Structure 1
């Protein structure tokens, strides 16, 4: 019985190519054989016999990354011999060579069709492989289970990770633990881009010469500035699980000083409401309700610029507009996904701008291609011991069109 859609054969020096192709295959719903995914299976076994069985009998195709390193290694030569034996027995295309350089590999004639990584990208290799796999026999039963699990993930919750350059990654969460010091997550990345981002974070931990990296994170009704502390990639039932531990950045959690000052007759709590209305409804200064407009003080360029500065905030997370319309243009018409992602992004903005300390209610619904309905209730940080914390609501619609 064939257990794998593709077996990957490569030298350790060329692992980067194989690992990327493996990620693309898994994201596409296929099951590859990749040595590091099989550590538990390989442990204690006779590797010569086990790998012989995998490369000779257990995969539909074998992708061989041919290079000077591949030609020199003992194990890659063993894998090649098993692959060639299978190809000889079946008299059909089983070997799919990918050239990294011009090294001649015994048993691989120069006339056999191959892809060349000096001319195309590894993503284009995957596209060609995907066509070959999907155009022949159905995927293996194990692959069908993998595909089903990806569909199920779309009904689970997501975490939002925002890189230092402002790129957002919405990654499915299998388990989560959040306390006052650290955040522990089990993540199920759905795309090569998400996996590449996690690997980048891991390099900042393992490389002694790499600088510290700080990112923003939102999950459920909370958000924080965090620093990656531990990142481990594991595999369970052909599914990649990333176990990640973040430390909260206490210094960056401090309140926004500009957001806690009075301007004219506007209190910090009232300006926080104005900021929340901008985040959730995309309201600008001239579009605020009359009760806010009447308290903004004298009109004039100086006062408008100053008030705008107070509303945007000054802690490194400034609010110039709502993230919801641009997110809709990016996500498209997938209502369920858009609503989840828009809610998470709004939570990130509301919490990291110190607009609210606690979210008491937050309902967000896509009405049509033009409008999102928002019902929000939040509690501000308590400003005085003898006063209750300020609680406010934002109800309305956010326009999605420009």
Structure 2
């Protein structure tokens, strides 16, 4: 029996008294914005600064109960290292377990998702293009790849008392991993190349290092101008999404009692953010774990986009421990 998909769009009631009691407003990594207290998370960005994205990841009480009551055994945190997200897929802020994912010659994707509940059916149907055939850009991540897509078509086949959903996705025409016009930056005696800034952006996504710095134009001070400029570059200029905070920390508060599931889902979210945040074009390796003393070890290696014919693309490597609480 498959793990029930983590989706439920029929009820957007906030999750009460399950996460942190203080509903502190927070901004999560990769442009994922929300409030930890009610557990509503938004992903915001733009496609070539033209089409706005406003996608919502809703983790409600039923989602948590499905996770806790699944047949997946509880696995202790000690020694657990995840290098694959298995059959999980991230789509418009929801996590599903897939039957197959097929990439066609024209770049479109066919995703087969089994469903055994009316909540799953309603969630998938909500992704349909509108009556004019238009659909908004949405997040997608599977295995070692992630990007922005549009849902072109949704079909369903009934099998006994359940559905098998077939989704056709078209990737947006976006180049990831750095543009030719990326900026370098010099402050005082230190110079940051475009690759250095991409490395800092990746470290924020995976390690919360450097953490988000507040930019307040109302209280401009010459002494802080350099820090504000560097912060702006780390967040990203003309990138598909803004990178503001670590993506691992908020998921841990929800799935800390299921470390294997947490690592698999966090890995998908991280891969999407690393790609759409223009850190790398290709993820070569991403291993999460083990979790020890409320920190998770991270090992990452990825290749940036090749900008010049005679220059090999840079490799970004990041390793360290990310605090989860």
Smaller-chain TM-score range?
0.5 to 0.7
Which has the larger helix fraction?
1
TM-score, reference length from structure 2: 0.65
CA distance, structure 2, for counterparts of residue 286 and residue 327 of structure 1? 18
Q: Deviations over 1:322-378 (max 9, x none)?
A: 110011112231011101000000000001112111111111014136111111111
3-state secondary structure, aligned to 1:212 = coil
Deviation at 1:312, TM superposition (A): 0.8
The change in CA–CA distance for 1:331 and 1:321 in structure 2 (over 3 A counts) is same
Number of residues paired by the alignment?
A: 232
Distance 1:195 1:259 in 2: 43
Q: Which has more strand, going by share of residues? A: 2
Structure 2 unaligned runs (5+)?
Answer: 1-9, 11-69, 75-84, 214-221
Query: Could you say which structure has the larger radius of gyration?
Result: 1
* 1:176–1:342 Cα change, 3 Å: same
Check the 8 A contact 1:362/1:375 in 2, yes or no.
yes
Q: State yes or no: 1:228 paired with 2:228.
A: no
Q: Match of 1:398?
A: 322
Deviation, structure 1 residue 232: 1.0
What root-mean-square deviation, in Å, do the aligned CA atoms of Structure 1 and Structure 2 show? 2.8
Matched, 1:174 2:96: no
- Deviation of 1:201 after TM superposition, in Å, equals 1.5
Aligned mates of 1:255, 1:361 — CA distance in 2: 15
Over residues 215-258 of structure 1, what are the superposed CA-to-partner deviations in whole Å (9 max), with x where a residue is unaligned?
A: 110111111211111101222243321111011111x4466659
> Does residue 355 of the first structure (1) align with residue 285 of the second (2)?
no
1:160 aligns with: 90
Q: Residues of 2 paired with 1:381 and 1:352: CA distance?
A: 12
Indicate whether 1:300 and 2:223 are aligned: yes
Going from structure 1 to structure 2, the CA distance change for 1:351 and 1:259 (only over 3 Å counts) comes to: farther
In 1, Cα distance between equivalents of 2:301 and 2:181: 19
Encode CA deviations 1:53-108: one digit per residue, 9 max, x unaligned. xxxxxxxxxxxxxxxxxxxxxxxxxxxxxxxxxxxxxxxxxxxxxxxxxxxxxxxx
For the residues of structure 2 that align with 1:191 and 1:324, how far apart are their CA atoms? 28
Match for residue 243 of structure 2 among 319, 329, 348: 319
Alignment of 1:21-100 (within 5 A): none
Cα 1:380/1:350, change in 2 over 3 Å: same
Distance change in 2, residues 1:261/1:186 (3 Å): same
Q: Partners of 2:265 and 2:181 in 1: how far apart?
A: 26
Is 1:249 aligned to 2:179, yes or no? no
Unpaired stretches in structure 1, ≥5 consecutive residues: 1-19, 21-149, 163-167, 288-298
- Tell me the CA shift for residue 300 of structure 1: 3.2
* Contact 2:284/2:302 (8 A) holds in 1: yes
| Contact 1:263 1:307 survives alignment (8 Å) | yes
- How far the C-alpha of 1:177 sits from its partner, in A, is 1.1
- Tell me which residue corresponds to 1:263: 185
Distance change in 2, residues 1:271/1:191 (3 Å): farther
Which residue of the other structure, out of 367, 370, 377, is the alignment partner of 2:291?
367
TM-score in terms of structure 1 length? 0.53
Q: CA deviation at 1:306?
A: 1.0
Structure 1 CA distance for aligned equivalents of residues 285 and 176 of structure 2: 23
- Taking the aligned partners of 2:252 and 2:117, their CA distance within structure 1 comes to 19
Q: What displacement does 1:266 show?
A: 1.1
